[in-house]
């Protein structure tokens, strides 16, 4: 069986003091995790978190990557720069970036390509809005989003991680039921299999109000290979409980 991945997405939260307290508390309770663990931190704290996580079982993640290699792109951060700070994962195409920063399927696909080119594993987020779900378009939307990434990355897609994050479940306390999530994960798994002979090894995470109480039921689904955790990743005990649920 695939090892599960529990990845925190801190979003725009934290401070030097809060990050230190949070990571120290997580590390103190972590032991030898059976699953893979990562935290996606604000870029400005990568250096701090790299130091705090050195030698630990927690991998470092970033929340965004430039689609460009280098040059006149004010405010952007390149994959090579992320790599210098020990970044192992980068979140690509989170719905908040699609929604508030106008990221298109094509831009997300280009970011994924850049990450793979730098040896950073992209966590590619896909997910439908409530209106799209109610219109019966869930499969169509997530397949379109993933297809752009597959199209741009060919056989390299066996190196990605996918996160199914229904937009209506993010930060709302409304989680997809294990059945709802599994159904979409199965659709994504089939799409990946059709695109790559090695698709079996791709981890598909669920994200959207996953917490200490609902993690076990979601993680028990056959095609749910981990979680992308927002709010609950900011509380050491909750994050540890989710990690334990993935064992």
Taking the C-alpha atoms of residue 133 and residue 41, their distance in angstroms, rounded to an integer, is: 30
- Minimum Å distance from CB 13 to ligand PGA? 10
* Cβ atoms 22, 53 nearer than 8 A: no
Q: Which is nearer to ligand PGA, 195 or 240 (CB)?
A: 240
- Minimum Å distance from CB 209 to ligand PGA? 4
Name the token pair of 154.
Answer: 């060919």
Q: Which of 59, 94, 96, 185 is catalytic?
A: 94
| Burial (Cβ within 10 Å: 0-12, 13-18, ≥19) of residue 35 | buried
- Minimum Å distance from CB 106 to ligand PGA? 22
Q: Which is nearer to ligand PGA, 156 or 217 (CB)?
A: 217
Q: Which is nearer to ligand PGA, 49 or 232 (CB)?
A: 232
Interacting residue ranges for ligand PGA, rule: CB under 6 A: 9, 165, 170-171, 207-210, 228-232
Other beta carbons within 10 angstroms of residue 246's beta carbon come to: 22
Q: Which is nearer to ligand PGA, 46 or 234 (CB)?
A: 234
Active site residue 94: yes
Active site residue 165: yes
Q: Which of 96, 103, 159, 165 is catalytic?
A: 165
Taking the C-alpha atoms of residue 233 and residue 38, their distance in angstroms, rounded to an integer, is: 10
- Residue 14 sits at φ, ψ, to 5 deg, of 115, 170
* Cβ atoms 228, 123 nearer than 8 A: yes
- Minimum Å distance from CB 170 to ligand PGA? 4
* Cβ atoms 2, 202 nearer than 8 A: no
By annotation, the residues acting in catalysis are 94, 165
């Amino acid at each position: 069986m695939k090892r599960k991945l529990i990845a925190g997405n801190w979003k725009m939260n934290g401070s030097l003091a809060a990050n230190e307290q949070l990571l120290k508390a997580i590390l103190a309770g972590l032991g030898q995790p059976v699953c893979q663990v990562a935290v996606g931190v604000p870029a400005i704290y990568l250096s701090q978190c790299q130091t705090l996580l050195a030698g630990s079982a927690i991998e470092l993640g970033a929340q965004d990557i430039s689609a460009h290699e280098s040059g006149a792109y004010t405010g952007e951060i390149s994959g090579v720069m992320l790599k210098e700070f020990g970044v192992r994962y980068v979140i690509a195409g989170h719905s908040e970036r699609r929604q508030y920063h106008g990221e298109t399927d094509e831009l997300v696909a280009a970011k994924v390509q850049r990450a793979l080119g730098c040896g950073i594993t992209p966590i590619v987020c896909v997910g439908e809005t409530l209106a799209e779900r109610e219109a019966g378009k869930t499969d169509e939307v997530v397949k379109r989003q993933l297809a752009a990434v597959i199209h741009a990355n060919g056989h390299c897609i066996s190196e990605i991680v996918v996160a199914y994050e229904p937009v209506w479940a993010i930060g709302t306390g409304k989680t997809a039921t294990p059945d709802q999530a599994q159904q979409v994960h199965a659709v994504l798994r089939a799409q990946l299999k059709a695109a790559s002979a090695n698709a079996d090894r791709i981890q598909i995470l669920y994200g959207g109000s996953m917490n200490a109480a609902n993690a076990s039921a979601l993680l028990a689904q056959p095609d749910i290979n981990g979680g992308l955790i927002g709010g609950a990743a900011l509380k050491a005990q909750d994050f540890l409980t989710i990690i334990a649920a993935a064992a």
